[in-house]
Amino acid sequence: MTPAPLHVAGERLMLDPAGLLLWPARRTLVVGDLHLEKGSHFAQGGRFVPPYDTRETLDRLQLALRRWRPARLIALGDSFHDAAGAGRLPAQDAQFLHRLLAGMEMLWVLGNHDPVPPEGLPGTAVEEFRDGPLTFRHEARRGPVKPAEISGHFHPKATMPTRCGGVTRPCFVADAWRVMLPAFGAYTGGLDAGDPAIAGLFPRGARVFLLGKDRLYSMPVAPSRARLVAAAGAAGPG
C-alpha cells in the first residue's frame, strides 16, 4: 500500500489506496460515505440483499485504522444508509464498532441519508467540522471554498483510458481547494467524475486518483464542458 501525498492549502495530506484520506499533522483519518446498514434498509422494503455489508465495510475500516493508528476519525456523512440505520445495527456489529472506535476521537459529519446523530454510538455528530485551514463536510459547497474543503457525497469514480480499453475505478477528485473522497461502503456504486454534478465543482479542472490494489493511479481531468462553452461564448466575437 503506497499512499499518495497531496498538498492542499499548505497542508500535507496522504491519500490511501483503500479510499481514505490521512492528515498526518493532526493524526486524523477521514473516511467517505460508509452507508452502513444499506442491506437491512433494502430488506425492510422486501428485497433481501445479503446482510453482510456492514461487517464487510467495518472489516475494511479496521484494516485502515490498524495501518494508520489515528487519534481522530472523521466520517464524512451518509455513514448510515438512513436515519434509523444505527438502530438496526446487529448487536455483534455494534460491539465491533465500539471496539474499533475505543480510545479515539470520533466525528460523525451528518449527511443527507443520515441527518441525525447515530443513536447509541460513541463520538460527536457535527453538521460540518473545521480544523485549521480545512473544513470537513458531507456535500461540497458550490462556489469558492476558503481556504479548503474535504467532502464525500458524490461517490466519484473515473475511467482511465489504457491501451486495452478503459478501466473504471472509484477515485478521489482534487484541486488546490477541494478533495472529494470516494464512497467506502460495500454496497456503494459510483458517479463518473465527468458528470456535471461533480465536474461543475472543479471549474478549473482537477486531478483524479483511481483506487488500485496497492497504489493510486492519477490523471488530470480537463475543465468541465459547461465552463468551456461559457468561456467560449464570452470570448467569442460580438
Rounded Cα distance, 185 and 56, in Å:
8
Q: Summarize the chain as % helix, strand, coil (round to 5).
A: 25, 30, 45
CB 78, CB 182: distance < 8 Å:
no
Told to check if 190 binds another protein by CB under 8 A, we report yes
3-state secondary structure of 220: strand
Taking CB under 8 A as the criterion, the residue among 45, 103, 143, 237 binding another protein is 45
Asked if 164 is part of the footprint of another protein (rule: CB under 8 A), the reply reads yes
Q: Tell me which of 103, 161, 237, 238 binds another protein, using CB under 8 A.
A: 161
| Shortest reach from residue 103's CB to another protein, in Å | 28
143 binds another protein (CB under 8 A): no
SS3 label, residue 165: strand
CA distance 183 to 34: 7
Eight-state DSSP code of residue 198? H
> Measured between alpha carbons, how far is 21 from 36 in angstroms, rounded to an integer?
19
- Of 95, 105, 14, 29, which Cα lies nearest the Cα of 61? 29
Examine residue 167 and tell whether it contacts another protein (CB under 8 A): yes
Binding of another protein by 237 (CB under 8 A)? no
Return the C-alpha cell found at 209. Answer: 486518483
The yes or no reply on residue 214 touching another protein (CB under 8 A) is: yes
Q: Candidates 38-46, 67-75, 122-130, 139-147 — which segment interacts with another protein by CB under 8 A?
A: 38-46
Contact region with another protein (CB under 8 A), list: 69-77, 103-111, 131-139, 191-199: 191-199
Is there binding between residue 169 and another protein (CB under 8 A)?
yes
Applying CB under 8 A, does 217 fall inside the site for another protein? yes
**In the window 2-21, what residues touch another protein (CB under 8 A)?**
5-8
The CA-to-CA distance between both ends of the chain, in Å, stands at 54
Residue 25 binds to another protein (criterion: CB under 8 A): no
**Residues 6+ positions from 45 with CB-CB distance below 8 Å:** none
Min dist. Cβ of residue 56 to another protein (A): 5
The answer to whether 51 and 89 are in contact (CB under 8 A) is no
> Under the phi-then-psi rule, with left for phi > 0, alpha for psi from -120 to 50, and beta for the rest, what region is 120?
left
Does 191 help bind another protein (rule: CB under 8 A)?
yes
Closer of 107 and 221 to another protein (Cβ): 221
Rule CB under 8 A: which residues touch another protein?
5-8, 38, 40, 42-53, 55-56, 90, 157-170, 174-176, 186-195, 204-205, 207, 210, 212-215, 217-223, 225, 227-229, 231-232, 235
